[in-house]
Amino acid sequence: MQPAALYSSKGFRQKGEGFGYSDDFKVTVSYIEVPVNLLYNPKLGTGNLILGAGGYLGYGTGGKWKSASGVLIGDIQIGDNGEVIFKNDAEKGEFGSYLYGKPLDYGVSFLAGYELFNKYSIQFNSEIGLANLQTTYSGIKRKGKMKNTSFSISLGYKF
């Protein structure tokens, strides 16, 4: 079993007209995540193959957004950068902040890698979100679904 506690960064970039009529919009969000994976480590050559699967639980803590031009929502100019917030209800958003979605995220995780000399390792990780992060508005469920998906590479050294 491989439990962990991680501070991770995720995000997206939207090119073309989209959020607030901006033509280049970028969001970076931060999460505290707790993945727990079950591992299988068969001997392979001079090291061990690492295969694993499990789940994760994450909580959004904030982030930043920026745009190549000032963002215009309706007839209000809100600038070209700001904070990212997480809320369960979009009605409770804050002026100038980008509401990413609900803060609680969970899903499944998979990993594959190789460990050499019982010291060094490389891992390829993937997380597929199962939680619908789409917020409600005044308690009314909104259309659509929003889920996180991520891919990462990690290098490790055992002391």
Is it the case that residue 16 has pLDDT exceeding 90? no
Is it the case that residue 75 has pLDDT exceeding 70? no
Residue 28: HSE in the Cβ half-sphere, 13 Å Cα cutoff: 7
Residue 4: HSE in the Cβ half-sphere, 13 Å Cα cutoff: 15
Q: pLDDT by residue (tens digit) across 25-74?
A: 889 999 999 999 999 999 999 999 999 999 999 999 999 988 887 776 66
The Cα–Cα gap between 95 and 20 comes to 13
Q: Position of tokens 């019982």?
A: 118
Per-residue model confidence (pLDDT) at position 20: 55
Mean of pLDDT values over 112-129: 95
pTM: 0.81
Task: Please answer whether residues 86 and 100 qualify as being in contact, where contact means their C-beta atoms are separated by less than 8 angstroms.
Answer: yes
Residues 6+ apart with CB under 8 A from 108: 53, 54, 55, 56, 127, 128, 130
**Number of residues that this document lists for the chain:** 159
CB count within 10 Å of CB 110 equals 14
With bands split at pLDDT 50, 70 and 90, how would you rate the model's confidence at 17? Answer: low
